[in-house]
Chain A
Amino acid sequence: MTSRQRLLCALERRVPDRLPVTTHHLMPSFLETLPGKPTPLEFFDRFGLDAVCWLNVNAPDPGCGQYFDPDHTPGEYEARRIVTECWRIEAEDVPDRWYRTVRYAIHTPRATLTTVLQSDAYTTWVAERLVKNKSDIDVIAEYMPPLVCDVEAVNRRAASFGERGIVRGTVPGFDVYGQPGCWQDAAVLVGIERLILSVYDDPDWVRRLLAVLEKRKRTWVSSLAGARYDLIELGGGDASSTVISPGIFEEFVAPYDASLIEEAHKAGMRVVYHICGGIMPLLDLLVAMKPDALETFTPSAMGGDADLGAAKKKIGGAVCMIGGFDQVHFFTGVDPERTRAEVRRCFEEAGEGGGYILAPSDHFFEAEIPLLEAYADEARACVYHPAGEG
């Protein structure tokens, strides 16, 4: 099987030739530490992993006054930003003792919204939330431009990527530090604690915000028809059970994201729902949303609660499972044999009958080369028998 065939086979819950093995996003800061500073594809080739091409390309609609923001340089995994004269985004560097600090101002005819991001060598975070007043979401609703996918650009890239692996996109979030899931996007804009308390204090406002975010995402998802994406990512860890309750998930997460999954299916797309953090109490709710795959199955040693074997038994017949590997404890500081044993554990617990892709349970910021080699090599040795036994 080619890597693409193998990954698609697992995504469709069929039995591939052997355990598909890949990673979540590869952090640029990590790749720079490796000899030769490989690109993501070179990294996959170097270690013999099944490759993923992350691709997010949107097309401005000049008829609606949209154009690419000339001042925006997209980061890894980011699409070029699209703005209008009624939604102009200015970035200004702010002096800070420790971190790169950037204040963003979004100018609209009605108000200017601001947010501050900080970053270090590894990651970026929000230091000042964009939604400060409840009425800010009305400004967003009125002026945030809708987005559509550049299908031709996706297909050109997919054609050149060929059988090397799958092409994966992300449901676009807000223009600054946006996130794929409606709840996750809202959590970044408002702050998760405030969002949770607003669920109890002003649930209608939360619903209004989620609906505004869903509307834009839905437009984008609808535009995917004909795009040769193999997988589209939705969700986010702020919807995990380590952050919210199943009750909040059912009322404020599932309806909005499930409707996007339905729309994606209409456009012929497969969807992976990303939920780093607690997942076990949410399994039934997640499967009811009908995604094609679920990730990241974060182990308890990393702050999650995933029991791969129990999850496989409960939902393995309904959804492809991706992740479950503990990258913190088995990509650094251990003997390669322990890394191999962790790969075996994942395969034995979740691999039976196919429908499982081995991957770290989210990003990793550091990894030792012999352990990456052991990870990939052991996974390649996890072959399925012809009868499809794991």
Chain B
Amino acid sequence: MEEREIAETLERLAECVERGKADASSLHPVDLRGRDGAEELTRLLLEAGVPPARILDEGLIPGMGRIGEKFREKQVFVPDVLLAARAMHAAMNHLRPFFRSRAIVTRGTFIIGTVFGDLHDIGKKLVAMVVEGSGWDVVDLGVNVEPERFVAEVRSRPGAVVGLSALLTTTMPNMRTTVAVLKETTPCTPVIVGGAPVTPEFAATIGADAYGADPYAAVEFLHRVGGS
């Protein structure tokens, strides 16, 4: 594959991520039906010898960045980001082995979960997907996560940043508990919090390092505190 073709394929990959075209069988978007998606294009690029880090930097990250910008500008909605994240994951399945072999060096590790007592997943998942698409290694602990589990994960991944999500006013106190436990046991761990009822004032009150209004605020925070 010549350089021009590589660049074009990377741009197509970015478009597939941005528009949520996971693989050739994806019905969405209609105008890309039958064409290769993120999965096939990533495989093609790897087979052509394109370094995995370049695929990440020039295909996946720009794709997620563009959809993120549109989301922030309220030009697209949650389903569009979900589709983009799914396309990114289809590509990431091919790249993950290179993370493990360190052929790709991530910007850092982000541990995220919804605090105990709260089973809301979608907002937390969006943050996880966007952060991963920004070049971070993401450990998604899921929902209803007890403080001790966050602590255990942080201890096994020194330098990690933690994100806490809560959707209910009734579970916001559990966010306070989780931050307190994290700050007591691993005081240097940066913690960002978010979720519908959470405010910057609440984040400050409970001792969190930051509040994220949307997934991209989380990315900005991560790049500020720990990203390369």
Residues of A within 8 A of B (CB): 98-99, 118, 120, 122-123, 125-127, 192-193, 196-197, 199-201, 241-246, 248, 281, 301-304, 328-329, 364-366
- Contact residue among B79, B195, B196 (Cβ-Cβ distance under 8 Å from A248): B79
- Please give me the residue from chain B that is nearest to A278 by CB atom: B77
11 further A-B contacts with Cβ under 8 Å, apart from A243-B122, A245-B79, are A193-B121, A200-B20, A200-B27, A200-B28, A201-B28, A241-B77, A246-B77, A302-B196, A303-B196, A304-B196, A365-B170
A118 and B143 CA atoms in complex are apart in Å by: 13
CB pair A201 B27 closer than 8 Å: yes
B residues within 8 A CB of A126? Answer: 119
A174 and B26 CA atoms in complex are apart in Å by: 31
CB pair A98 B82 closer than 8 Å: no
CB pair A196 B82 closer than 8 Å: yes
CB pair B77 A197 closer than 8 Å: no
CB pair A98 B117 closer than 8 Å: yes
Query: Which of A245, A303, A329 has the most B CB atoms < 10 Å from its CB?
Result: A303
CB pair B78 A302 closer than 8 Å: no
CB pair B170 A192 closer than 8 Å: no
CB pair B119 A120 closer than 8 Å: no
- Once A123-B168, A193-B125, A200-B28 are accepted as A-B contacts, the answer to whether A244 and B196 lie under 8 Å apart by CB is no
Residues of B within 8 A of A (CB): 20, 26-28, 74, 76-80, 82-83, 86, 116-117, 119, 121-122, 125, 144, 167-170, 195-197, 199
Q: Nearest-CB distance from A29 to chain B (Å)?
A: 9
A residues within 8 A CB of B144? Answer: 98
- Please give me the residue from chain B that is nearest to A303 by CB atom: B196
CB pair A301 B199 closer than 8 Å: yes
- Please give me the residue from chain B that is nearest to A332 by CB atom: B169
- Contact residue among A199, A301, A365, A366 (Cβ-Cβ distance under 8 Å from B79): A199
- Contact residue among B20, B28, B197 (Cβ-Cβ distance under 8 Å from A303): B197
CB pair A328 B197 closer than 8 Å: yes
- Please give me the residue from chain B that is nearest to A248 by CB atom: B79
Chain A at the B interface: SS class:
mixed
A365 and B27 CA atoms in complex are apart in Å by: 43
Count the A-B residue pairs with Cβ separation under 8 angstroms: how many?
A: 67
Chain B at the A interface: SS class:
loop
What are 8 A-B contacts with C-beta separation under 8 Å?
A: A122-B170, A126-B119, A192-B122, A197-B82, A244-B79, A301-B199, A303-B197, A365-B168
A185 and B40 CA atoms in complex are apart in Å by: 36
- Please give me the residue from chain B that is nearest to A242 by CB atom: B78
A154 and B88 CA atoms in complex are apart in Å by: 53
CB pair B122 A193 closer than 8 Å: yes
A110 and B170 CA atoms in complex are apart in Å by: 40
CB pair B119 A118 closer than 8 Å: yes
- Once A193-B125, A245-B76, A245-B79 are accepted as A-B contacts, the answer to whether A125 and B119 lie under 8 Å apart by CB is yes
A192 and B121 CA atoms in complex are apart in Å by: 10
A residues within 8 A CB of B82? Answer: 193, 196-197
CB pair A98 B197 closer than 8 Å: no
- Once A241-B77, A248-B79 are accepted as A-B contacts, the answer to whether A197 and B86 lie under 8 Å apart by CB is yes
B residues within 8 A CB of A125? Answer: 119
- Please give me the residue from chain A that is nearest to B74 by CB atom: A281
CB pair B116 A98 closer than 8 Å: yes
- Contact residue among B27, B78, B119, B199 (Cβ-Cβ distance under 8 Å from A244): B78
A366 and B83 CA atoms in complex are apart in Å by: 37
CB pair A245 B197 closer than 8 Å: no
CB pair B170 A120 closer than 8 Å: yes
B residues within 8 A CB of A197? Answer: 82-83, 86
A residues within 8 A CB of B77? Answer: 241, 244-246
A residues within 8 A CB of B169? Answer: 328, 364-366
A residues within 8 A CB of B27? Answer: 200-201
Q: Nearest-CB distance from B96 to chain A (Å)?
A: 21
B residues within 8 A CB of A120? Answer: 117, 170
- Please give me the residue from chain B that is nearest to A302 by CB atom: B197
A42 and B169 CA atoms in complex are apart in Å by: 25
Q: Nearest-CB distance from B125 to chain A (Å)?
A: 7
A100 and B167 CA atoms in complex are apart in Å by: 20
B residues within 8 A CB of A364? Answer: 169
B residues within 8 A CB of A242? Answer: 78, 196
- Please give me the residue from chain A that is nearest to B144 by CB atom: A98
Q: Nearest-CB distance from A27 to chain B (Å)?
A: 10
Instruction: Enumerate the 6 nearest inter-chain pairs by beta-carbon distance, A residue then B residue, closest first.
Output: A303-B196, A245-B77, A200-B28, A122-B170, A196-B79, A125-B119
A193 and B86 CA atoms in complex are apart in Å by: 11
B residues within 8 A CB of A302? Answer: 196-197
Q: Nearest-CB distance from B148 to chain A (Å)?
A: 12
B residues within 8 A CB of A118? Answer: 119
- Please give me the residue from chain A that is nearest to B170 by CB atom: A122
A281 and B82 CA atoms in complex are apart in Å by: 19
A304 and B197 CA atoms in complex are apart in Å by: 9
A196 and B79 CA atoms in complex are apart in Å by: 7
- Please give me the residue from chain A that is nearest to B119 by CB atom: A125
Q: Nearest-CB distance from A363 to chain B (Å)?
A: 9
A281 and B74 CA atoms in complex are apart in Å by: 10
A39 and B49 CA atoms in complex are apart in Å by: 71
A residues within 8 A CB of B116? Answer: 98
- Please give me the residue from chain A that is nearest to B80 by CB atom: A245
B residues within 8 A CB of A281? Answer: 74
A281 and B119 CA atoms in complex are apart in Å by: 27
